[in-house]
Structure 1
Amino acid sequence: MEVIVVCLLLIFHIPLMNGEIQNLDVFSESRNVIMFEDFGFSKGGCISISLSSVSISSKSTNPTNSSLMGFFYAPSPAFNALEDALFNHSCILGKPFIFPIVTFNELSNSSLTSINRTIPITSPDLYYVFFLNCAPETFISMQVDLETYNLNPKGNKDFIDEHFIVSPAIGFSLSAVYFIFLMLWIYACYKNSRFVHRIHILMMALLLVKSLELFFRDETQRFVRFTGTPHGWDILWLALTFIRTLLFDIVFVLMGSGWSLLTPCLPDIQKLVLALSVLMQLVVNICFIVLQGMGPLIENYSYWVVTFYAVDFTCSMLIVFPVSHTIDNLRETSKTEGKEEISSFQLTLFCSIYICLQAYVYIEKLGIFILRTFLSYNFWWVSVILEQAIEGGVYMVAFYTFRPNETNDYYVLEEGNGEELAPVSSMPTPVA
């Protein structure tokens, strides 16, 4: 269990930070280790740190040994040592692969309260930048300015993590693909306007928000890459991510329930599932925004990270339930005389989306995490492409399956009556 939590902590920055300039204020911090950054360096990259307003206080009556605290960096082989420090609160000073950037005895010896240091990276690898405090009952306050960057061929700073160097280009391309997808969906709805229902409008909104989210994420990373700061683009990206994740859950819960396709209203059990999924997604989004905005200095940082992943996976599992419930109802309906063919057709549609969502949950949510845990950092960009490919596949299958046309319409002609329309569903329709 501890190994899983450490993996969550160390890979949480992968989809978020991707390298940037960090300006952080540390106040009365007593943790033995604080993870500030993980960054994939190429040869010639640098870690640049500036400390100011440093103050040390202690509850102990003994003199504080300032050589036991400072900033350090370590390549990927130091993972086990970091795990030990995070969970066993052990001091890893002097352990293999733990290299100092600056220790506080340099400040005490010179009677300074600030210091600047730049460390060149000569061996390409994934490096962790962290603060160690091996002095018990000691509290640290300081202002930290941290830069992690590589140098591009022109000699300019590149603040994008090396193994995400392809990510901005992918983001812009995907944004364009989803925009084209949106245009095709609008055309399909216009061409088959007789069969357009409210769920199709929500699906249209989901495509729009997804396209915009990818565009603003690309802009965020583009500014981070060249300047080290997102210049406000991250606020728009986070806002759109918040809306998109909520819309995704709402659309797929309603779609799986057959809302506006098989039945115009939701039964009580489906309303409960929708409410729970929205509530959990709100928790996930709050964790995401807090962790992205406040970083590792937030109190109980590990609990926030674990909550983010646990609730996100549970929420993904929950959106599969309505599809399973609908499939069971359709199987019962298929036993009704005169509705075998219609129910069998609808059953095929919902089985396909059920399989698609199962693949999304277990591959995109669980499989990607396992892949990132064991994959060499040089190939982490593969996980980004795979994640987007899986999500794109879910969109394509779901939207093609439930596109507006007469075969997907929840009102069909009753056999033997060419004028009366009746809903094809055995699900109870609540009284409004």
Structure 2
Amino acid sequence: MAIPTPFFVFFLLLVSSAMAEIKELQITSDPRPMILFEKFGFTHGGSVSISVSSAVVSAPSSVDPSLLGFFLLSDDNLLQAIYQSELQQQDQNPNPSCVLSSTYVRVLFTFRDLSPSSSFNRTFPVDLPDEYSLFFANCAPSSAAVTMSVRTEMYNSRPDGSRDYLSVGQAPVPTVYSAFALLYVLFLAAWTYFLFKNRLSSHRIHYLMAALLLTKALNLIFAAEDQHYIRSTGTPHGWDVLFYLFQFLKGVLLFTVIVLIGTGWSFLKPFLQDREKKILILVIPLQVIANLASVVIGETGPFIRDWVTWNQVFLLIDIVCCCAILFPIVWSIRSLRETSKTDGKAAKNLAKLTLFRQFYIALVGYLYLTRIVVYALRTIAAYKYQWVSVEAEEAVSLAFYLFMFYMFRPVERNEYFVIDDEEEEAAEAALREEEFEL
């Protein structure tokens, strides 16, 4: 069986470095020719531990056990392996060789090495530092299905002999999360003080924004705790439950706050129109589904059959939510433009238009940077620096939060609404020019 090129293209597009905590899983009657278990960045002295039990191959006829086994493939050899596969396809080889016989993979063991009780347990050292992917290959006929219990551990050894279960590129992530959690706690304290100081000018939206900061800080705190325990023990110790809970609350509150700010609720008007309510009714259930997909992706791994589907579901929902929250801002801008023609408050309307346009541009920039640029950075960054994409994403998020909270802060005389006669005349001219351009 040649290495399937489409698989590796998809592999490059979707699979990022995993947390690589200890995995215990059950594979039942699985006929897939190749299964990806983990992807991990090793330092000098890294190790892979694999334990297989109750291994059974179901096939109409006998199968050569050397055609089934586990192997490691480094990122450096990935392109070479793809090139070798393409050459075999161009030669139209009717009997392409099994991936386990490729010179570009490191075979750990095959089913020929199983004990009489169909089990195997061994730890393999990794001498060359790199990012490796752990695969199971089934080069037997397509009718052959595999059933087995598998336990995997991938870790690096510290100088004191203890194990580090985080990939080398993920090792600084707990510190990154802790630092940003502290920043958000300080942010929340400053925002709470500002609300108390300007409580007469505070609206309901401002208290909802405070709740958003609280959930964001708690999300980062439990993310740091989760990553720390995984790094030390290989298991999350239950912290992942709280992490996913506050991740869900943060996501719902963030999109809700953006929609409400975009409609001017509580800040410019005390009500929501039906179409704006429909956006919220759409976004909140989608966030529930997106977070469910996130839990499945984070708690299982690429070895499950539906892992790709859950990734696609998460990506699709995220895109829909990001597009949906832009509409209320566009509606507000259009409404302000129409109002400016009739109410005679040119400067005030121009100030509101400026405010919402800047918010719209900031939101588009935030979505672009966190959904596209950060993903590209995660893809192209060397395996040792995968943590940089996490830091970049949190830095962009913090910058957007600071901008949004500053623009819509509770003050008695907002700079956008402090006008004089000269500004009124200039605003009327600007609105007339804009109407002429439209």
**TM-score range with shorter-chain normalisation?**
0.7 to 0.9
Aligned counterparts, 1:9-408, within 5 A: 9-11=14-16, 14=17, 17-58=18-59, 60=60, 62-80=61-79, 81=81, 91-107=98-114, 110-135=115-140, 136-407=142-413
> Does structure 2 conserve the Cα–Cα contact (< 8 Å) formed by 1:3 and 1:83?
no
Could you tell me how far apart the structure 1 residues matched to 2:390 and 2:220 are?
A: 13
Could you tell me how far apart the structure 1 residues matched to 2:173 and 2:243 are?
A: 15
Q: Post-superposition shift, 1:335? A: 2.8
**4+ residue runs of structure 1 moved beyond 6 angstroms?**
1-4, 82-85, 409-413
**Alignment deviations for residues 194-250 of structure 1 (CA, whole Å, 9 cap, x no partner):** 122121111111100110110001111111111111111111111111111111111
Amino acid across the alignment from 1:104? F
Which residue in the other structure is 1:418 paired with?
Answer: none
Which residue in the other structure is 2:425 paired with?
Answer: none
Could you tell me how far apart the structure 2 residues matched to 1:21 and 1:78 are?
A: 25
Could you tell me how far apart the structure 1 residues matched to 2:342 and 2:307 are?
A: 55
Amino acid across the alignment from 1:99? R
Could you tell me how far apart the structure 2 residues matched to 1:304 and 1:72 are?
A: 26
SS of 1:154's equivalent?
coil
> Does structure 2 conserve the Cα–Cα contact (< 8 Å) formed by 1:48 and 1:148?
yes
Q: How has the CA–CA distance of structure 1 residues 57 and 353 changed in structure 2, closer, same or farther, with 3 Å as cutoff?
A: same
SS of 2:200's equivalent?
helix
Could you tell me how far apart the structure 2 residues matched to 1:290 and 1:401 are?
A: 37
Count the aligned residue pairs. 404
C-alpha RMSD over aligned residues:
2.6
**Alignment deviations for residues 335-376 of structure 1 (CA, whole Å, 9 cap, x no partner):** 335311111222222122111111111111011112222232
**Alignment deviations for residues 275-295 of structure 1 (CA, whole Å, 9 cap, x no partner):** 222232222111111222232
Amino acid across the alignment from 1:115? F
SS of 1:7's equivalent?
helix
Q: Post-superposition shift, 1:92? A: 2.6
SS of 1:193's equivalent?
coil
Q: How has the CA–CA distance of structure 1 residues 183 and 250 changed in structure 2, closer, same or farther, with 3 Å as cutoff?
A: same
> Does structure 1 conserve the Cα–Cα contact (< 8 Å) formed by 2:35 and 2:136?
yes
**Alignment deviations for residues 9-63 of structure 1 (CA, whole Å, 9 cap, x no partner):** 312xx4xx422111112222211111111111111111111111212211x2x21
Could you tell me how far apart the structure 2 residues matched to 1:2 and 1:138 are?
A: 20
Could you tell me how far apart the structure 1 residues matched to 2:82 and 2:217 are?
A: 38
Could you tell me how far apart the structure 1 residues matched to 2:222 and 2:382 are?
A: 28
Could you tell me how far apart the structure 1 residues matched to 2:362 and 2:84 are?
A: 39
